[in-house]
Amino acid sequence: MWPLLAALAVAHPEKHGGQNYRLGYDAVTFWEMAVLMTAIAGQPFRYEPLAPEVFLEAIRTAGAEMAYMNCVYDHWKRYAAGTIPGADDTFDNFPMLTGRQPAKWPDFIQKHKAELAY
């Protein structure tokens, strides 16, 4: 979705220049995502929450660029702690901006279920 909005912003700077668009059209929990993926992809998925520190150590061991990954880690910690105001907010601006409906999680899973097969 964001590439389409980015293209529109570049193509029509007079309309989109200086604007901030919040993007988020379908919020689900990780547990709900596992249920959706199981139902749509037709094989079991489950969510097992791990501490953000597990992610940080794994990504460090993998040799990731840590300046960026430390930001991801910090965001994960804040999200897991519930301290990011509006993190689960959803918006209805996509049709007004693009003339289309946004993709929702079930649509995305259906489109990519072959890639989710294990």
pLDDT digits (tens, 9 = 90+) for 50-106: 989 999 999 999 999 999 999 999 998 998 888 999 888 999 999 998 899 998 999
pLDDT in tens, 87-98: 889 999 999 988
- CA–CA distance, 46 with 44 (Å, rounded to integer): 7
Q: Is 26 helix (H, G, I), strand (E, B) or coil?
A: coil
Q: Which of 52, 111, 43, 108 is nearest to 80 (CA)?
A: 52
Q: In the prediction, which pLDDT does 1 show?
A: 65
Q: In the prediction, which pLDDT does 68 show?
A: 94
At 51, the amino acid letter reads A
Q: Is the distance from CB of 91 to CB of 25 less than 8 angstroms?
A: yes
| In the chain, where the domains are located | 28-87
- Structure tokens belonging to residue 74: 């910090």
Distances (CA, A) of 20 to 12, 13, 87: 14, 13, 16
Q: In the prediction, which pLDDT does 13 show?
A: 92
Q: What is the pTM of this model?
A: 0.74
At 23, the amino acid letter reads L
